[in-house]
Structure 1
Amino acid sequence: MLARMVVAWGWLLGAIATEIVATTSLKLSEGFTRPVPSIVVVVGYVAAFACLSQALRTFEVGTAYALWSGIGTAAVVLVGVLFLGEGISPAKVGGVVLVIAGVVLLNLSGAH
C-alpha cells in the first residue's frame, strides 16, 4: 500500500509539474503565434492529463484535482511573479492563500 501511494504521488507531482510548464508556455506562445512554446503547451497538457489519469488509479478524483489545481495555481502565480515580470499584490497573495487553504480543508475533511 505504501509503495502504491508513493507511485501515485509521483504521478500526481508529474501532472502538476507538466501542467505548470504547459501553462507557462501558453503565456510564452503569444496566442499560439510562436511554434516552440505552442508545441510545449500541447505536449505538456497531454502529459499532465496522462499523469493525472495514472494518479487517479489511487487517489479519489476530488483529492487529486484539488491538489493538482491548487498547487499548480500557486506555482504558476510564483512563476509569473519571479520569471514573467507579473505584479504581486496583497489581493493576489490572499487569493493564493485561500486556494491553498481550500485544498487543505478538502483534505482534512476526508475528501481522500
Structure 2
Amino acid sequence: MKGFLYIVCTVLSEVVGTAALKETHNFTRPLPIFIMSIGYVLSFLFLSLALKVIPMSVVYSVSSGLGIVFSCLISRFYFNQSLDSIQIIGIILIFLGILLSNGSNIQNT
C-alpha cells in the first residue's frame, strides 16, 4: 500500500511540474520555473521510493498511465482545453490497460 502512495505522489508531482512548465512561457517566469523544478525532483524521488517496494513494470505503467490521465484533466480544467469523445475513450482504455497488464502484479504487491 505504501508503494502505491509513492506512485500517486510521483504522478501528482510530475503533473504539477508539467503544468508549471507550460506556465514558464519559455523559461521567462521565475515562479513557474521553481515550481516545475521542485515538481520534477519530487517526482523522481517518489519514483525511486516506489521502485523499492513495487516491481518496475507496475510502477512505470501505473505512473505513466495516471500521468497521462491527470495531464488530460489538468489541461481540460486548468488550461480550458477541450477533451473530445475519442480522448475520453482513450482515458478509459488507459485505465483498462493498466488493470489488464498489471492485475496479477497489483494483487501480489
Question: Where on the TM-score scale, by shorter chain, does this alignment land: which range?
Answer: 0.7 to 0.9
> May I ask how many residue pairs the two structures share in their alignment?
106
Q: In the alignment, does 2:73 pair up with 1:85?
A: no
User: Structure 1 stretches (4+) deviating beyond 3 angstroms?
Assistant: none
**Share of identical aligned residues, percent?**
26
RMSD over aligned Cα, in angstroms? 1.4
In structure 2, the residue matched to 1:74 is: 69
What letter corresponds to residue 98 of structure 1 in structure 2?
L
Question: Deviation at 1:33?
Answer: 1.9
What letter corresponds to residue 25 of structure 2 in structure 1?
E
Question: Deviation at 1:96?
Answer: 1.4
In structure 2, the residue matched to 1:3 is: none
Question: Deviation at 1:75?
Answer: 1.0
Higher percent of residues as helix: 2
Question: Deviation at 1:83?
Answer: 1.4
For normalisation by structure 2, the TM-score amounts to 0.88
Question: Deviation at 1:85?
Answer: 0.8
Task: State the SS of the aligned residue for 2:52.
Answer: coil
Structure 1 residue corresponding to 2:26, chosen from 20, 26, 31: 31
Q: In the alignment, does 2:77 pair up with 1:94?
A: no
CA distance in 2, matches of 1:48, 1:75: 14
Task: State the SS of the aligned residue for 2:82.
Answer: coil
Structure 2 residue corresponding to 1:51, chosen from 46, 53, 66: 46
Q: In the alignment, does 2:59 pair up with 1:64?
A: yes
What letter corresponds to residue 56 of structure 2 in structure 1?
V
Question: Deviation at 1:111?
Answer: 4.3
